[in-house]
Amino acid sequence: MSQAVEISFQDALGLFRRGQLADAERCCQDVTRQRPEHFGALHLLGIIAFQTGRSADAVIWLRRAVAVRPEAADAHGNLGTALSALGDHAAALSSYDTAIALRPDVAGMLCNRGNVLRALGRAEASLRDYSHAIALNPGLTEAHYNHGNALTALRRFDDALMSFGRALELKPDFAEAHNARGQALRRLNHCDLALSAYDRAIALKPNLPDAHNNRGNALRDLGRLTEALAAYDRAIGLKPDMAEAHNNRGTVLDNLGRPAEALLSYDRAIALRPRFPEAHNNRGNALGALGRHEEALTAFGEALALDPGYADAHDNLGSARAGMGQFEAALSGFDRALTLDPRRAETHANRGNTLRGLGRHGEAMRDYAAALALEPEHAAAHWNQSLCQLAMGDYENGWKSFEWRWKSEMSGAKRALSGPPWTGEPGATVFVHTEQGLGDVLQFCRYIPMLAARARVVLESPRPLLRLLSRLEGVTSIVAEGDTPPDYDGWIPLMSLPLAFGTTLATIPATLPYLHADPERSAAWRQRLESLPVRKVGLVWAGSPRHQQPRANLIDRRRSMPLSRYAPLAALPGLSLISLQKGDASGQTAPPGMRLRDWTNELHDFADTAALVDALDLVISVDTSVAHLAGALGKPVWVLNRYDQCWRWLWGRTDTPWYPTARLFQQRTPGDWAGVISDVADALRSGE
């Protein structure tokens, strides 16, 4: 019987060697039914199960095999391979340890143990196994390749390139090694070379999803976003359950300004891999871009629950909280991120912004300095530093730093204008182009008469301001935004004029009024308002939401309040309240007891609004363009500021050198509109 069993086993070996695995498996099973402890049959059954994708079955057979013959190094090694395929790397390591103790001179076994050590996060230990394997067999391509992977994990990218190079010398058509070489090159910021490596990998193995995914990353780094998206789609087409590719696809969609689509990609990545902190973090960014800020906080929290040491998520959580006005809570997120990685320039800059919002300008300046020490060309840090300097009244340095706005994505893209910038030469025709919001234009158009003393001025104007600014002193010609200006010799941005004229606190041009309402229209409004014998007060309670600009929209939410906040003013005698509110917020219902007169349907542009404002006794407004309009017209205006008020108002003041007729009311704590309105009511009662 023993001889017949051995003949059957030899038949099984023959079938196995000819690739007839199913027949070989049946033969081996016949052998084990006759001899349950036949080592060869048990071992071969384990190998066949593994090769046919049944790793769990392979473990069962191989464990029986090593129980029969504990001294069989190959069986222990194969058991380690099957356990590793099941993700049980600790048990796999134990099997490889046993195998290597029995056969310490098998290079392939050392290489496999190195792979398990690397999977366990022990890259340094894996290097020793790969090096030992290479010493035993310098021609073992896999050992050089995995040696490079371990060096990449240890961020020794230059050394990794040498290992991948050796692997490719031995096997030039090794697609995975070309792909891994691309990874090291990309980490060294050689994105063009990385892209070439990925392309070579794909040429050798077109259906390699990792290479397509990595190619997308390189294209994204190069700013070729549409091509990157196509690369991720190709990776997903080849491997639909590739969570990394779905996550990366989302980041490109975010960069393309398509956050709703990005969110779908992140959701798919998380469905495939729920414990994927990067996808949760990126999901938070997309939710923030969609204005779903509370959900964004939850997403960042989920990322941190999975990985408490995830510095990016701590930073993003801090930024989200700051955007919602939760400044103190935001600081804890930034502090944690910097504890994890002190060299995060972006986090230092974000922390500086939050400290600036809290009015702690000296501390904010130290954070901006730290950011710029790490990244001297960090445009957002320079620009936000300028806002801090300007808020403190350091105009000498602030206006210079303010020019960094053109390099910061936070302030909008620089205009592509023909011709040279104006550098101060007299007698030139200068095109002054507008920028940022309507309030900025109203505040800084005061420089046009000064410029007109040196040059002929072609002024660009937003369309709602066109008629009003056409009356501005010093304007040679005016052109609406989007229209082609007449010929000019040089150009200058409107908000660069303070720098051009060396403006300090003492030299702010504040002669009022510098804008003028149409006299006939103003007279007509005065006549209509004569029936209101008491003090005529115009009200504005909200700015303009900017749904496509998440950061600006968050600021608008903090600077705006509901009309109902003005309810205490309705109870004051001697006031006639008149709406100056335009936009979506104009539809809000007045609170009980408030009679609010509303003629805003007759106000078609700022020239119309200026005529009504000119006929009023006082304007009370949140920080929006109407406040600047009233100040420019020389009308009394009370500006209601959020706690983290705009830099232009200067911190800690109730007056402003920009508008001598203005009075400032600032929240004492973030969101405290009740306190602001109480102060306003007290001032009105006292007859101020």
- Determine the Cα–Cα distance for residues 102 and 71; give it in Å rounded to an integer: 7
Give me the pLDDT at residue 554, please. 76
Q: In the beta sheet, which residues pair with residue 619?
A: 538, 637
Could you give the CA distance from residue 227 to residue 311 in angstroms, rounded to a whole number?
29
Quote the pTM value: 0.82
> What is the arrangement of strands in the sheet containing 535-540, beginning at the earlier edge strand?
596-598, 575-579, 535-540, 618-622, 637-641, 662-666
Token pair 């904010």 is found at: 364
Q: What is the DSSP letter of 421?
A: B
Please state, in angstroms and rounded to a whole number, the distance separating the CA atoms of residues 142 and 133: 10
**The CA-based dihedral angle spanning residues 364, 403, 439, 658, taken in that order and rounded to the nearest 10 degrees:** 70
Gap between the terminal Cα atoms of the chain = 116
Joined together, the tokens standing for residue 252 give: 């490109």
Please tell me the predicted confidence (pLDDT) of residue 549: 66
pLDDT of residue 409: 63
**DSSP result, 106-152:** -HHHHHHHHHHHHHTT-HHHHHHHHHHHHHH-TT-HHHHHHHHHHHH
What DSSP element (H or E) covers 665?
A: strand 662-666
Nearest C-alpha neighbor of 243 from the set 218, 278, 281: 278
Residues found in the chain: 688
Q: What is the largest CA-CA distance in the chain?
A: 123
Q: Which long-range contacts (CB under 8 A, 24 or more apart) does 216-222 make?
A: 216/245, 216/248, 216/249, 216/252, 217/186, 217/248, 218/182, 218/186, 218/191, 218/194, 219/195, 220/248, 220/251, 220/252, 220/255, 221/186, 221/191, 222/191, 222/192, 222/195
Q: Which residues of the chain have pLDDT under 50?
A: 1, 413
**d(Cα 381, Cα 373) in Å, to the nearest integer?**
11
Secondary structure E strands in 452-583? 456-461, 475-480, 490-493, 535-540, 575-579
Cα 233 from chain centre? 22
Which pLDDT value is given to residue 1? 46
CA distances from 683 to 76, 218, 228, 352, 533 (A): 87, 61, 59, 34, 20
509 phi/psi in degrees, rounded to 5: -70, 105
What are the tokens at 460? 């660009």
Show Cβ contacts of residue 372 under 8 Å, excluding neighbours closer than 6 positions: 345, 378, 381, 382, 385
Closest CA to 620 of 668, 673, 552, 546: 673
Torsion on CA atoms 628, 631, 632, 635, rounded to nearest 10: 140
Q: Would you state the pLDDT for residue 161?
A: 96
150 by Cβ neighbours in 10 Å (0-12 / 13-18 / 19+) ranks as buried
